[in-house]
Amino acid sequence: MSGMMDTVLNLGINEGVARGIVEATGNERFGLDLHRRFIQMFASVVLGVDSSLLHGVIRERQADSEADRLSDLSSADL
């Protein structure tokens, strides 16, 4: 939404927490995707990394895996 400040979601998600989420839910992709989203948001909002660079990496992974959507990426892709 225009005029809104960017917010870092999933604050505190690190590799250990992501592993715990995977163990608790039995869904590896879910835990890895939460961690990926946090890294992307933190890099963009806090560190000032150009978000197009981060999105470019994900787009390359999608192309390599022939995934139509981000949600089609597997755990191995993430």
Q: Note the pLDDT tens digit of each residue in 38-78.
A: 999 899 989 999 989 988 998 999 999 988 888 889 888 88
Tokens in use for 28? 């590896």
Q: How confident is the model at residue 6 (pLDDT cuts 50, 70, 90)?
A: confident
Cα–Cα distances in angstroms (integers) from residue 72 to residues 16, 37, 63, 68, in the given order: 24, 15, 11, 7
More confident residue, 26 or 72: 26
pTM: 0.80
In this structure, how many other beta carbons lie within 10 angstroms of the beta carbon of residue 59? 12
Q: How confident is the model at residue 2 (pLDDT cuts 50, 70, 90)?
A: low
Report domain extents, the chain: 15-70
